[in-house]
Amino acid sequence: MFRKVLIANRGEIALRVICACKELGVRTVAVYSEADRNSLHVRFADEAICIGPPRSAESYLNVPAVISAAEIADVDAIHPGYGLLSENANFAEVCRASNIKFIGPPPEVTRLMGEKEKARMAMKKAKVPILPGSEGVIQSEEEATEWAKSVGFPVILKASAGGGGRGMRVVRSAEELPNLFHAAQTEAQNAFGNGDLYMEKFIERPRHIEFQVLADEHGNVVSLGERECSIQRRHQKLIEEAPSLQVTAKMREEIGATLKKSLSNIGYMNAGTVEFLMDEDGQIYFIEMNTRIQVEHPVTEMVTGIDLVKAQLRIAAGERLSAILPKQLEIRGHAIECRVNAEHPEKFTPSAGKIHVFNLPGGNGVRVDTAQFSEGFVPPYYDSLIAKLIVHGRDRAEAIARMERALGMFIVEGIHTTIPLHRRIFADEEFRSGAFDTKFMERFFEREKEAREKAVL
């Protein structure tokens, strides 16, 4: 195992990685910006190094600053967490050149998955189901029109360098295609410095279902089942759960077996998430792969009993999956996560400031991942996620009851959070039924609006 690991991140995920290191007897080095001087990741790490001013671009995203800290502290490895440098293949290459183990897949694999069109073709070749669409990058609007006619409208144009919804356009007819093609191309060029586009058949009301995988450095891959992540707004997930009510044991088995083969062929290593869309008929199609640990990894941990971050460290240290995982993998019960963001619950604008009271719920089946505390401060410079409230129950009904009581015991005073929004979602019949898709939040807000209008009348 590593002697010393640098955590190139902040907030709850930096703490999460520190927890895993402590349990493995690994020394930890925190890096922090001037705005994070008094944060818990600094306090709980064995060493801490300031790497720059508050803005991420000058601190957490500053590759020379992070690498210098790693060299000064003399670490064996760097864990990037999620976001920030976690899917930056160039950063992983600099780590390699500096003889520091990057805890994640090799840069070549990160680069492949970062080019969504290439990832799609690689998965197609490996017999993972993909949506009908273009093959390779689309060179012109004429070619786009040809593909659209062969696939059938509606189609969606996506940026090859994209993700998270930018550079995407839904095209419903041949007439509107040229304008939308150029709009998507320009947006992608401006956002990513790469205007390459590809095309897929558009699914109107998809569910977002993703599979967690682990791969060791000896060619072994395992699927740890899926997470249902359809409850989202503006491409930001709000609630995730495991397992999905829509995925049968047979589907889970089949998709797991396919991923095992395809990711082994691709040379995938460490933790990863394979994203799928499920259509109205329950068919699932690969859309993209994330080559990092994800925010919502705890729901998988709760139903499998596997510590994914410890697994990441052990895989990066060369251990085999057979030494890390139990003989029999099983999905036990049901887990749900609510993302608690420091933001106005209706306006969704960030709410930075001092937290006066911070009371965490606890008790049976409740887990909270956070780096916040009473009298602490939420700086305005970073992601607004301040805590993840995760519950586990025998079944979904017990998990829902547990979440409702835990949300009621979670007190945050001084800033606005999404806790009140979560309480309303958990009271919603459509949410409780489990039969929802990625358009859920739009319908939910519409129902709330109608209820308010009725109350006035």
**Closest by CA position to 104, among listed 324, 313, 322, 323:** 313
Is residue 236 involved in binding ligand MV4 (CB under 6 A)? no
Angle at 275 between CA 198 and CA 418, to 5 degrees: 110
Contact status, residue 351 vs residue 12, Cβ threshold 8 Å: no
- State the Cα torsion 127-133-139-140 to the nearest 10°: 170
CA pair distance 6, 49, nearest whole angstrom: 10
**Residue nearer to ligand MV4 on the CB measure, 206 or 361:** 206
Is residue 227 involved in binding ligand MV4 (CB under 6 A)? no
Is residue 113 involved in binding ligand MV4 (CB under 6 A)? no
Q: Which stretch binds ligand MV4 (CB under 6 A): 49-57, 171-179, 196-204, 358-366?
A: 196-204
Q: Which stretch binds ligand MV4 (CB under 6 A): 3-11, 15-23, 195-203, 418-426?
A: 195-203
Q: Smallest gap, in angstroms, from Cβ of residue 131 to ligand MV4?
A: 5
Question: Which of 52, 107, 195, 206 touches ligand MV4 by CB under 6 A?
Answer: 206
**Residue nearer to ligand MV4 on the CB measure, 67 or 289:** 289
Question: Which of 129, 136, 152, 165 touches ligand MV4 by CB under 6 A?
Answer: 165
- Determine if the peptide bond prior to 243 is cis (ω within 30°): yes
Residue 50 half-sphere exposure toward CB, CA atoms < 13 A: 11
Residue 209, judged by CB atoms within 10 A of its CB (0-12, 13-18, 19+), counts as: buried
Is residue 287 involved in binding ligand MV4 (CB under 6 A)? yes
Q: Smallest gap, in angstroms, from Cβ of residue 232 to ligand MV4?
A: 5
**Residue nearer to ligand MV4 on the CB measure, 62 or 273:** 273
Question: Which ranges constitute the DSSP H helices of 230-370?
Answer: 249-266, 297-304, 308-316, 321-324
**Closest by CA position to 202, among listed 267, 140, 280:** 280
Q: Smallest gap, in angstroms, from Cβ of residue 171 to ligand MV4?
A: 11
CB atoms within 10 A of CB 172: 13
Q: Smallest gap, in angstroms, from Cβ of residue 186 to ligand MV4?
A: 19
With contacts defined by CB under 6 A, how many residues of the chain interact with ligand MV4?
16
**Closest by CA position to 4, among listed 70, 97, 82:** 70
Is residue 284 involved in binding ligand MV4 (CB under 6 A)? no
**Residue nearer to ligand MV4 on the CB measure, 307 or 337:** 337
Q: Smallest gap, in angstroms, from Cβ of residue 386 to ligand MV4?
A: 23
Report the catalytic residues. Answer: 292
Contact residues for ligand MV4 (CB under 6 A)? Answer: 131, 156, 163, 165, 200-203, 206, 208, 232, 235, 277, 287-288, 438
